[in-house]
Amino acid sequence: MTSLGKSGMVSFTPLSWPVRLRIIKGLAKGLAYIHEFSPRKYVHGNLRPSNILLGQNMEPHISDFGLGRLANLTEESSSSSSFQLEQIMTETPPQNSPYVQRVASSLAAAGAFYKAPEASKVTKPSQKWDVYSFGVIILEMISAKMPFKRIGSLEMDLIQWFQLSIDERKPLVDLLDPFLAPDVDMEEEIVAVLKMALACAHKAPERRPSMRFVCDNLARLA
């Protein structure tokens, strides 16, 4: 089993759109279960690609669930030491696609971009945080770009880049991972997932859909 966000020394062939869609659906189903169908309506709170493990058939498994709460309890019980859960994880600049091979580096920059904007201001975890993280991960899977971009001296997150590209009416092919070019005939399906991802990553928590809604809508796609 390997991580969606970290391949280490293992290389991968490019993922086709049907495979990526299968991963997206599985991730949505897992989060919907955590949020709605488990005995208690939990919050993951630290969702990112490195916490999504892929099985032999590319089925996703959500890991690190509950560790955020454990970290908080550890901090509360000890004043002399702190338990830092934040994982230092990023990737090398993509030459073609980071979904061919991704490696960890010491640059701790990517992690914060998976967190909802309100997460730094509100102490009580919300399921809407997970929805936001899900949206960013899906945008990353579609574009094969890092969750933040630097254009000259300007830094923007992946959501802003997508919105700017859409406002500038850039063609879909400019937004996609180049390795998705053979799947361009599935444009309608890709656009539907892209719109859902942008809705999940909305800045306003109340505007984000529930994971049950997301899961139900993704299930209608082939």
91 neighbors 105 (Cβ within 8 angstroms): yes
Q: What angle do CA 136, 137, 141 make, to 5 degrees?
A: 120
The predicted pLDDT at position 38 comes to 75
Give the lowest-confidence range in 60-74, 106-120, 192-206.
Answer: 60-74
Q: Is the pLDDT of residue 72 over 50?
A: no
Superfamily of domain 2-219: Transferase(Phosphotransferase) domain 1 (1.10.510.10)
Question: Alpha-carbon distance 147 to 156, whole Å?
Answer: 9
Rounded distance, CA 125 to CA 46, Å?
10
Nearest-angstrom CA–CA distance, 203 and 121: 13
Quick one: pLDDT at residue 154? 77
Q: In 3D, which of 68, 23, 74 has the Cα closest to residue 42?
A: 68
Question: Is residue 22 pLDDT above 90, yes or no?
Answer: yes
Delimit the domains of the chain by residue range. Answer: 2-219
User: How sure is the predictor about 3, in pLDDT bands with cuts at 50, 70 and 90?
Assistant: low
pLDDT confidence band for 66 (50 / 70 / 90): low
C-alpha 164: how far from chain center: 19
Question: What is the chain's mean pLDDT, rounded?
Answer: 79
Query: Which pLDDT score is estimated for 80?
Result: 33
pLDDT, greater one: 39 or 219: 219
How confident is the model over 8-17, as pLDDT tens digits?
A: 445 567 899 9
Of 222 and 37, the one with more pLDDT: 37
Task: Please tell me the distance from the alpha carbon of residue 34 to that of residue 52, in angstroms, as a whole number.
Answer: 14
CA–CA separation, 182 vs 16, rounded Å? 8
Residue given tokens 């969606």 in the structure block? 4
Do the beta carbons of residue 47 and residue 57 sit within 8 Å? Answer: no
CB 101 within 8 A of CB 91: no
**Average pLDDT, stretch 39-60?**
89
Contacts of 33 (CB under 8 A, 6+ apart): none
- Identify whether the C-beta of residue 217 lies closer than 8 Å to the C-beta of residue 195: no
Q: What is the DSSP letter of 46?
A: -
The pLDDT value recorded for residue 2 is 59
- pLDDT (tens digit, 9 = 90+) per residue, 169-189? 999 999 999 999 899 889 999
- Interior/surface letters 123-150, b for 16+ CB within 10 angstroms, e for the rest: eebbbbbbbbbbbbbbbbbbbbbbbbee
In angstroms and rounded to an integer, the radius of gyration of the C-alpha atoms of the chain is: 17
